[in-house]
């Protein structure tokens, strides 16, 4: 995909590396009636020279009026806690709006209704390397359209963050 913002429109699923099973994404637009959800990806739109590709953060905690996120390439400073920022949200007329200085498209959650995904451990990492080598091919199909999404970008980053913060 061209940039982080394109995850919102061009990526509908992610593939588990170890067995290539695809899991669909649930997408919640900013202003949705569904509240922000822990472990979701928070997707930002493109915003001029500051964020020409958009931005992605992982929601690691949902509080009564704010969320906490883990992210890279934001302010470039050492985190003094186990999250980079706390971002407020409002509940207005039955809808949730996350407020930040840049436009948030929404949050994306892996649809794992049968709890089939697990955090990475060394045994699973060894299996992934053995099965896929140095250049794995990850393709999820949806209505005959191929969506390419590097699972190292989603799963590994996401699962490592889950391991760190749970």
What's the pLDDT tens digit per position in 125-143?
888 888 777 666 666 654 3
What's the pLDDT tens digit per position in 52-73?
999 999 999 999 999 999 998 8
Do residues 155 and 21 make contact, with C-beta atoms less than 8 angstroms apart? no
Radius of gyration of the chain, Cα coordinates, nearest whole angstrom: 16
CA nearest neighbour of 9 among 158, 145, 162, 156: 145
Phi and psi at residue 132, to the nearest 5°: -110, -15
Cβ-Cβ contacts under 8 Å for 81 (sequence gap 6 or more): none
Mean pLDDT within 107-129: 84
Do residues 103 and 93 make contact, with C-beta atoms less than 8 angstroms apart? no
CA angle in degrees (0–180, nearest 5) for 106-107-108: 130
What's the pLDDT tens digit per position in 10-56?
999 988 878 888 899 999 999 999 999 999 999 999 998 989 999 99
Q: Residue 51 belongs to what domain range?
A: 4-165
**Alpha carbon distances (Å) from 166 to 3, 61, 103, 163:** 29, 10, 28, 6
CATH of the domain at 13: 3.90.1720.10
Q: How many domains does the chain have?
A: 1
Query: C-alpha dihedral over 56, 3, 111, 18, to 10 degrees?
Result: -100
- Token pair recorded at residue 166: 């749970």
Phi and psi at residue 74, to the nearest 5°: -130, 115
pTM, entire model: 0.77
Distance (Å, whole) CA 118 – CA 95: 31
Comparing 144 with 165, the larger pLDDT belongs to 165
């Amino acid at each position: 995909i061209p940039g982080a913002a394109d995850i919102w429109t061009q990526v509908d699923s992610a593939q588990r590396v170890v067995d290539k099973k695809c899991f669909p994404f649930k997408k919640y637009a900013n202003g949705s009636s569904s509240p922000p959800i822990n472990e979701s990806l928070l997707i930002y739109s493109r915003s001029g020279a500051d964020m020409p590709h958009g931005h992605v953060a992982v929601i690691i905690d949902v509080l009564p009026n704010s969320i906490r996120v883990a992210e890279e390439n934001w302010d470039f400073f050492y985190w003094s806690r186990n999250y980079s920022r706390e971002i407020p949200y409002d509940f207005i007329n039955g809808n949730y709006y996350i407020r930040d200085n840049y436009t948030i498209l929404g949050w994306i959650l892996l649809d794992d209704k049968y709890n089939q995904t697990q955090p990475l451990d060394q045994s699973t990492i060894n299996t992934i390397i053995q099965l896929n080598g140095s250049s794995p091919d990850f393709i999820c199909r949806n209505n005959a359209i191929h969506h390419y999404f590097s699972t190292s970008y989603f799963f590994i980053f996401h699962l490592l963050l889950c391991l760190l913060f749970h």
